[in-house]
Amino acid sequence: MNTRKHRFSLLFYIALGSVFAVAETNLQDAPEKPTGYNSKLAILAAYGNGTLEIIDRNVSVPEEIVWEKNIEYGNANGQPLHLDLYRPSKLNQPVPALLFIHGGAWKSGKRQDYHYYTVAYAKKGYVVATASYRLTEQAPYPAAVQDCKCAVRWLKINARKYNIDPGKIAVIGGSAGGHLSMMLGYADDPALEGNSGHNGVSSSISAVVNIYGVYDMTARIAKENDAVKNFLQGKSFEEAPELYRQASPMFHLDQTDPPTLILHGTLDEIVPVAQSDRLASHLKRLKIPYTYGRLDGWPHTMDLAKPVNDYCQAMIDRFLYEHLPMPRNKD
């Protein structure tokens, strides 16, 4: 088991600090929040003395799960776009599908980063996909949004083949993937559909899970960030304010948008928790069903820590049970 690299990832983001530097669902029966820390140094100490366990993202795929790799879901100007699909081997009726979108400041990361989640949710009975998308150096915004929308369309046109309920697709992502998940859920601008494939099929989804993603690109923390500027075609906010607004989920949110689960830690210095606070406020005002797991004392990439990952999965389970319920078993 090689977890050193993944442990280092959590520590790297903790130490990096400021690089980016209806009513709410009843939480009465929500899972207990994991105890957080007073500072990043305390988290480093807990890791150092072995009291903070980190997940192993290289989990094996059990025999009852069919894992199909490198499926081409679209083609962007000659560049193939790929996803991996995980599904129970003995599905006998359509079930909800989950699309996981990786993070990495839109410039790095890979779809395999969510292998831990995808295996877990396929074991729970879902059809699960994790998709690659064009990164900033390959093609700046709106390419990543367009690619992810294409992945949703691919799931819908292949619904019968893979026993997917096309009316029950949730998108889940962390950091940049959280931003993209919100864009898929809230933005219906035709310019964001792209031409990577399956045009004419709706890219609408039924639920959003945003894990510490950027909600407002016009906030100071985003406007002054190089990763955001590079993602947005190398343009500053002063040069292209409308581009920043178009790339902000905040400016697309309306009353017709899907239920949303938010997961964010208060020690996050890469995407400050104020971003999710504002999202929750707007969802509440618009009476869009939402749940907010606001975790005191946890940083960016907090779900690499096992107690946080356990909590996040419990919250996602509960959210999906409410908004994308599984079909009843056939006799």
* 192/169 Cα distance (integer angstroms): 19
- What's the pTM? 0.92
Is there a cis peptide before residue 249, judged by omega within 30 degrees of 0?
no
Q: Give the pair of three-digit tokens for residue 140.
A: 């700046």
pLDDT digits (tens, 9 = 90+) for 201-251: 999 999 999 999 999 999 999 999 999 999 999 999 999 999 999 999 999
CB 197 within 8 A of CB 241: no
Q: What is the mean pLDDT of each run of 10 residues along the chain (331 residues)?
A: 45 41 46 95 95 94 98 97 97 97 98 97 98 97 98 98 98 98 97 95 98 98 96 97 98 98 98 98 98 98 97 98 89 50
CATH number of 4-323: 3.40.50.1820
What is the DSSP secondary-structure string of 27-67?
Answer: -TTPPPPPP--SSHHHHHHHHHTT-S-B--S-PPPPTTEEE
Question: What are the residue ranges spanned by the domains of the chain?
Answer: 4-323
